[in-house]
C-alpha cells in the first residue's frame, strides 16, 4: 500500500483529506506529551495563559520515552494509551491541534471535536518502542522538565510510521476492523 508523506504543519484541508486505513510517514517536528503535561497545558489555558508551543496545525504524540542511551537521541518511544488524554484533547483541538498519535479508542467528545475542527487521530504500533525510536532523530524538552519522562518534548522525526485510525469524518478503524473479523455476536 502506498504510504502518504506528511510534513507538519498539517492544515485543516489536508487533515480532512486523510481517511481511515491510510498509512502515513511523518517527517519534521512533532510534539510529545502525556497525562501530566496535558494537565498542565489545560490548566495554563484555563488561567488564560498561552501554551509552551503554538498548537495550530501541529501533531502531538502521546509518549513518555525511555532515557537516551549514550550516542542516541532518545530511548524506546512507542505510543501510550490515548484514552487517558481524552479529558484534555478537545480543548487542545479547539486551539488548532490537528493530529494526535497514540493507541486505543477515543471518547465521543474527542471524536466530535475532531469532526468539528478537522482533526485526525493516528495509531502507532504499541509495543514497538525500540523500532519507533529509530525514526526520532532529535529530541528536546521544551517545557515541564520536572515531570521527568512526562515532560513536553519536541521531536524531529523522519518517516515516522502511523495509521489513520479515526478520521475527521468520524470513521473508526478500530470498529470497522474488528467487526470484519468478529465471530461472536454477543458475550
Partner 1 sequence: MREIPVNQVIDLVERLCIEANSLLGRDIAASLEEALAHEESPLGRDILQQLLDNAALARQTGGPMCQDTGVAVVFVEIGEEVHVAGGSLENAINEGVRRGYLNGYLRKSVVSDPLFKRKNTGDNTPAVIHYRLVAGDKLRITVAPKGAGSENMSGLKMLKPSDGVEGLKRFVLEIVDSAGSNPCPPIVVGVGVGGTMEKAALLAKEALVRPINQRHPDAAVAQLEQELLELINQLGIGPQGLGGRFTALAVNIEIFPTHIACLPVAVNINCHCTRHAEGIL
Segment interacting with partner 1, rule: CB under 8 A, options 5-13, 68-76, 87-95, 136-144:
68-76
Quick one: which of 29, 81, 107, 171 contacts partner 1 (CB under 8 A)? Answer: 81
Q: Determine if 73 is a binding residue for partner 1 (CB under 8 A).
A: no
Nearest approach in angstroms of CB 14 to partner 1 is: 23
| Element containing residue 37 per DSSP (H, E) | helix 35-46
Which of 113, 32, 15, 112 shows the shortest CA–CA distance to 66? Answer: 32
Give the H or E element holding residue 133.
helix 129-133
Is 76 a residue that touches partner 1 (CB under 8 A)?
yes
Examine residue 141 and tell whether it contacts partner 1 (CB under 8 A). Answer: no
Q: Which residues pair with 31 in a beta bridge?
A: 60, 154
Residue from 75, 107, 169, 171 binding partner 1 (CB under 8 A): 75
Mask of contacts with partner 1, 2-31, x by CB under 8 A? Answer: -------------------x----------
Buried b or exposed e, range 82-115, using 16+ CB within 10 angstroms: bbebbebbbbbbebbbbbbbbbbbbeeebbebbb
Closest listed residue to residue 114, CA positions, set 65, 60, 161: 60
- What is the radius of gyration, based on Cα positions, of the chain? 16
Interface positions with partner 1 (CB under 8 A): 21, 36, 63-69, 75-78, 80-81, 83, 103-105, 123, 125-131, 133-134, 147-150, 163, 165, 173-174, 176-184, 187
Amino acid at each position: 500500500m502506498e504510504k502518504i508523506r506528511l510534513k507538519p504543519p498539517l492544515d485543516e484541508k489536508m487533515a480532512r483529506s486523510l481517511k481511515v486505513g491510510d498509512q502515513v510517514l511523518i517527517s519534521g517536528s512533532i510534539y510529545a506529551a502525556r497525562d501530566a503535561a496535558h494537565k498542565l497545558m489545560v490548566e495554563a489555558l484555563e488561567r488564560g495563559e498561552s501554551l509552551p508551543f503554538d498548537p495550530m496545525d501541529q501533531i502531538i504524540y502521546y509518549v513518555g520515552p525511555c532515557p537516551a542511551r549514550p550516542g542516541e537521541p532518545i530511548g524506546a518511544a512507542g505510543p501510550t494509551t490515548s484514552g487517558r488524554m481524552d479529558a484534555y484533547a478537545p480543548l487542545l483541538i479547539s486551539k488548532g491541534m490537528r493530529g494526535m498519535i497514540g493507541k486505543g479508542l477515543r471518547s465521543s467528545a474527542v471524536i466530535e471535536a475532531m469532526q468539528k475542527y478537522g482533526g485526525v487521530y493516528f495509531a502507532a504500533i504499541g509495543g514497538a518502542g525500540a523500532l519507533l525510536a529509530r525514526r526520532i532523530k532529535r529530541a528536546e524538552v521544551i517545557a515541564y522538565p520536572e515531570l521527568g519522562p512526562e515532560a513536553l518534548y519536541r521531536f524531529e522525526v523522519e518517516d515516522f510510521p502511523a495509521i489513520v485510525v479515526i478520521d475527521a469524518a468520524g470513521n473508526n478503524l478500530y470498529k470497522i476492523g474488528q467487526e470484519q473479523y468478529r465471530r461472536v455476536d454477543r458475550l
